[in-house]
């Protein structure tokens, strides 16, 4: 029986081998027939008799045999990621993903709102920064707390009251609205409360990829884990003062709306005054640093906002607009897409390049000095933010580099003509078309 079985196996294998040979001949013929015309036309290659084609056949509508996609396809995700399904020919694999969506993040729901986060645990490339989205209902409070890393925020919707106290006991209390920013440097205790009529939603960015919003230093959690006789001694009051301190963290909870801003500010500043540099910033009150037909850019760093140790750019690209080819020599870049659709290619040296698509709620990440561009691929404005874990914004663009290198030298590399090189703007474009 055993011998018979193995004989059968051999016969079957031989049959399979023959079948495979036949199939590969047929498919190779189909492949060459379908591909050769496209190849010759598109790449200008000579498909000489008896020679293997030197490039992979491709078609604009992806109809070629080697482009077929039989079997399961997630068409919803495919539609959102056309540059992953059909990568530009200039892409080359082997590069880790640099995109994650808040839509995939776990949402922690509380009575006063919700929160979710995208950290290095979700997006392994994002080692130096992490992001949090939060919604607070009208009156909803993000509990008094602090953390090791700095917190940079963009208000996405509604209005909120923020509070903080610095190392000198100086206070910051202010109301922020959609489009405003705040910074809480590392270790600075703070709170956020949703205002009327419908609370708020905001984005937080931390200069620590391993940040965890669910494990911050909370005032309730700390007091619940300190002996009440020590609390009593600390303040010189009876232990009973602390009888109602919650035994468990509040984290995000609903309360009445705060009192008038002037009243709360006066109370908090008594004896020490306000912080010397405001922790909030209003980009709506500044002019764009660059304005072009393709869009505009506002750069917000310590040059104009002395309190911040996190630099950022707010970029708006018109349909077809391009955030020009560039890189950042000083730090990694963390991105958040506020509205619209775009694509980004990151070139990672060693012939590696990858293009990914982005839309509302997506996070992008680019490591220090890796060149990239962002293109609006939709028919509405694309708005995204670039955030850097450093006080000052820095970039170098391809055009800027070429404009300030001897034209002869660049032309000897690229053969683009010295006339073209001489005409490149001497000032960085940032956004094109100009």
Q: Which residue has the tokens 């705040």?
A: 182
Q: Closest Cα to residue 410, out of 90, 419, 353, 426?
A: 419
Q: Which is nearer to Mn ion, 58 or 352 (CB)?
A: 352
Q: How far is the CB of 326 from Mn ion (least distance, A)?
A: 6
Q: How far is the CB of 227 from Mn ion (least distance, A)?
A: 27
The C-alpha torsion from 185 through 186 and 189 to 195, rounded to 10°, is 50
Window of 95-103, 151-159, 263-271, 341-349 that interacts with Mn ion by CB under 5 A:
151-159
Site map for Mn ion, 301-340, x if CB under 5 A?
A: --------------------------------x-------
**How many CB atoms are located within 10 Å of the residue 394 CB?**
13
End-to-end CA distance of the chain: 80
Distance CA 3, CA 188 (A): 78
- The answer to whether the beta carbons of residues 326 and 347 sit under 8 Å apart is no
Window of 93-101, 132-140, 149-157, 287-295 that interacts with Mn ion by CB under 5 A:
149-157
Ordered alpha helix ranges (H), 81-131: 82-85
Q: Closest Cα to residue 200, out of 285, 284, 114, 104?
A: 114
CA 208 to chain centroid: 14
Q: Return the DSSP state at 396.
A: E
**How many residues bind Mn ion, per CB under 5 A?**
2
HSE toward the beta carbon, residue 261, CA cutoff 13 A: 12
Q: Which is nearer to Mn ion, 301 or 333 (CB)?
A: 333
Active site residue 264: no
Q: How far is the CB of 190 from Mn ion (least distance, A)?
A: 6
Q: Which is nearer to Mn ion, 299 or 402 (CB)?
A: 299
Window of 47-55, 127-135, 150-158, 245-253 that interacts with Mn ion by CB under 5 A:
150-158
Helices (H) and strands (E) in the chain, counts: 9, 25
Q: How far is the CB of 207 from Mn ion (least distance, A)?
A: 12
Two tokens, residue 300:
């917000």
Q: How far is the CB of 268 from Mn ion (least distance, A)?
A: 18
Q: Applying CB under 5 A, does 221 fall inside the site for Mn ion?
A: no
Q: Which is nearer to Mn ion, 151 or 280 (CB)?
A: 151
Window of 130-138, 147-155, 267-275, 346-354 that interacts with Mn ion by CB under 5 A:
147-155
Q: Applying CB under 5 A, does 280 fall inside the site for Mn ion?
A: no
Q: Which is nearer to Mn ion, 137 or 204 (CB)?
A: 204
Q: Which is nearer to Mn ion, 180 or 333 (CB)?
A: 333
- The residue whose Cβ lies closest to Mn ion is 151
Q: Which is nearer to Mn ion, 151 or 221 (CB)?
A: 151
Q: How far is the CB of 145 from Mn ion (least distance, A)?
A: 6
User: How would you classify residue 94: left for phi > 0, otherwise alpha for psi between -120 and 50, otherwise beta?
Assistant: left
Q: How far is the CB of 405 from Mn ion (least distance, A)?
A: 21
With a CB cutoff of 8 Å and minimum separation 6, the contacts of 119 are 126, 130, 131, 209, 210, 211, 212
Distance CA 363, CA 300 (A): 19
Window of 100-108, 145-153, 165-173, 246-254 that interacts with Mn ion by CB under 5 A:
145-153
Distance CA 376, CA 101 (A): 18
Q: Which is nearer to Mn ion, 133 or 151 (CB)?
A: 151
Q: How far is the CB of 264 from Mn ion (least distance, A)?
A: 19
φ, ψ for residue 96, nearest 5 deg: -70, 150
Two tokens, residue 404:
């300030």
Distance CA 255, CA 264 (A): 16
Window of 45-53, 80-88, 124-132, 143-151 that interacts with Mn ion by CB under 5 A:
143-151
User: How would you classify residue 140: left for phi > 0, otherwise alpha for psi between -120 and 50, otherwise beta?
Assistant: beta
Q: Which of 256, 386, 412, 418 is the catalytic position?
A: 386
Distance CA 152, CA 126 (A): 16
What residues numbered 385-414 form the site for Mn ion, per CB under 5 A?
A: none
Q: Applying CB under 5 A, does 151 fall inside the site for Mn ion?
A: yes
Distance CA 202, CA 179 (A): 9
Which residues of this protein are in contact with Mn ion, per CB under 5 A? 151, 333
Catalytic residues, by residue number, are 386
């Amino acid at each position: 029986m055993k011998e018979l079985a193995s004989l059968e196996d051999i016969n079957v294998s031989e049959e399979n081998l023959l079948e495979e040979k036949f199939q590969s001949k047929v498919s190779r013929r189909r492949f060459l027939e379908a591909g050769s015309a496209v190849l010759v036309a598109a790449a200008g290659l000579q498909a000489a008799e008896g020679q293997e084609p030197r490039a992979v056949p491709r078609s604009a509508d992806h109809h070629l045999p080697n482009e077929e996609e039989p079997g399961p396809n997630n068409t919803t995700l495919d539609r959102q990621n056309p540059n992953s399904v059909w990568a530009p020919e200039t892409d080359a694999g082997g590069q880790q993903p640099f995109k994650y969506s808040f839509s995939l993040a776990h949402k922690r729901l509380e009575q006063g709102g919700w929160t979710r986060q995208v950290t290095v645990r979700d997006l392994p490339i994002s080692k130096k920064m992490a992001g949090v989205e939060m919604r607070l209902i009208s009156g909803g409070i993000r509990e008094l707390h602090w953390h090791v890393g700095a917190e940079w925020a963009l208000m996405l919707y509604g209005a909120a009251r923020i509070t903080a106290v610095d190392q000198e006991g100086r206070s910051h209390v202010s109301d922020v609205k959609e489009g405003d920013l705040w910074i809480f440097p590392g270790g600075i205790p703070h709170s956020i409360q949703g205002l009327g009529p419908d609370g708020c939603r905001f984005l937080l960015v931390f200069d620590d990829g391993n940040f965890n919003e669910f494990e911050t230093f909370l005032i309730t959690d700390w007091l619940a884990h300190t002996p009440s006789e020590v609390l009593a001694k600390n303040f010189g009051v009876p232990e009973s003062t602390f009888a109602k301190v919650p035994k468990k963290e509040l984290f995000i909870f609903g309360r009445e709306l705060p009192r008038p801003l002037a009243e709360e500010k006066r109370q908090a500043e008594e004896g020490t005054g306000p912080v010397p540099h405001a922790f909030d910033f209003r980009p709506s009150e500044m002019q764009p640093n660059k304005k072009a037909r393709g869009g505009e850019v506002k750069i917000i760093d310590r040059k104009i906002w002395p309190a911040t140790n996190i630099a950022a750019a707010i970029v708006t690209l018109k349909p077809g607009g391009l955030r020009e080819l560039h890189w950042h020599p000083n730090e990694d870049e963390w991105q958040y897409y506020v509205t619209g659709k775009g694509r980004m290619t990151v070139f990672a040296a060693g012939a590696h390049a990858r293009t990914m698509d982005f839309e509302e709620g997506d996070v992008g990440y680019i490591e220090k000095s890796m060149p990239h561009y962002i293109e609006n691929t939709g028919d509405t404005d694309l708005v995204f933010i670039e955030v850097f874990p450093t006080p000052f914004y820095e970039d170098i663009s391809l055009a800027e580099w070429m404009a300030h290198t001897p034209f002869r030298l660049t032309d000897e590399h690229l053969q683009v003509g010295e006339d073209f090189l001489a005409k490149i703007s001497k000032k960085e474009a940032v956004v094109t078309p100009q």
